[in-house]
A = this chain, B = another copy of it.
C-alpha cells in the first residue's frame, strides 16, 4: 500500500496511541510518525522500539493527520489548540458527548475535528502493551459533528479502513447510550463483582471466571473518568440491569422454572445469535 499520509502525529503514546503507531507502521499508511508524549518513560520506550520516528513537543505544522490518544478530559484542549491546523484531528475517547460539549463550550466546533471511538482496548495499558492488530476487525464509531468537513471525515475513515477496522457513524448521544450498555456497564459489574472475591477463591476458578472478570483488571483512573463522563447513561443502564437481575433472582427464589428458563434461554439465544460475533 502506498503511503497515504505524509506525516501523522500521535498525541499520547500509550496502549491506544502505541497500537495505532504500530498498525500505521505495519500498513505503511504514513511516511513519518511523530509522537507527543509527556511521560518520559513512555516516550523513550516508543522511540527505542520504533513506534514513532521522533518525539516532539507540539504537533508539526506539516502533519496531515492528528490522533489524540490522550485521556478524555484532555482531548478538548488539544482540539481547540488544533482548530486551525490543516490536518484532520480525531480522538479515541470512550465517551463522545462530553468531549464534543467541552470543545463547543470554548469555540465553534472545528471543521477538522472527527470524534472517534475505536471499540477495542485491553485491560493492559502503556506503550509496552501496544499491539499492531488491536484495531483489525474491530469497530470504530465516528460521531462527526454538524461542522465536521467531508474532507476531514473521509481522511479519518481512510485511516481506520487502512488498519482493517470497520466503521459506523452515530450521534454522540446515541454512541454514549449504546456504549453505556455494551462496555461501561460490564466494566462496572466486573469491578463490583471482584469486591467479594477473596484469595481463598482464586484456586477455585475456571475459564468462566477468567473471561468474565478480565475487564476488572482495567485501568481504575481511566474507568472512573468514563463512569463520571457518562454517568447518566451508565446509571440508567444499571437501573435496567438491576430490575432484570432481581426478576431472575425472584424466579430462582420462587423455583419458577418456566419464567427462569425462559429468561436464561432468551439470554443464551441472544448471546449465541449469528450477529453476536
- Residues of A participating in the B interface, judged by any CB pair closer than 8 Å: 119-123, 138-139, 141, 168, 175, 178-179, 181-183, 185-197, 199-221, 223-224, 227-228, 231, 234-235, 237-238, 240-242, 244-245, 248-249, 252-253, 255, 257, 260-261, 263-268, 270-273, 275-277
Contact = CB atoms under 8 A, between A and B. Distances in A.
Given A139-B205, A224-B264, 13 more contacts: A175-B204, A178-B201, A181-B201, A191-B263, A192-B245, A195-B266, A196-B237, A211-B215, A213-B271, A224-B260, A224-B261, A227-B252, A242-B242
A191 B28 CA distance: 43
B275 A240 contact: no
A253 B235 contact: yes
B182 A204 contact: yes
A206 B263 contact: no
14 contacts: A121-B208, A139-B203, A183-B205, A186-B209, A186-B213, A193-B244, A194-B267, A194-B270, A195-B244, A195-B267, A196-B237, A211-B212, A219-B268, A238-B249
Contacts of A182: 197, 201, 204-206, 209
A59 B204 CA distance: 31
A265 B191 CA distance: 9
Number of copies: 2
A229 to B, nearest CB: 11
A181 B220 CA distance: 23
Contacts of A221: 261
Contacts of A217: 268, 271-272, 276
Nearest to A213: B271
Contact of A252 (B189, B228, B275): B228
A11 B247 CA distance: 36
A260 B190 CA distance: 14
A88 to B, nearest CB: 23
A266 B186 CA distance: 17
A227 B202 CA distance: 21
B208 A215 contact: yes
Given A178-B200, A195-B244, A234-B252, A121 B207 contact: yes
A190 B186 CA distance: 9
Contacts of A186: 193, 208-209, 212-213
A205 B223 CA distance: 17
B260 A206 contact: no
Closest 10 CB pairs of A and B: A194-B267, A119-B206, A192-B245, A217-B271, A220-B264, A195-B244, A211-B211, A186-B212, A216-B271, A220-B265
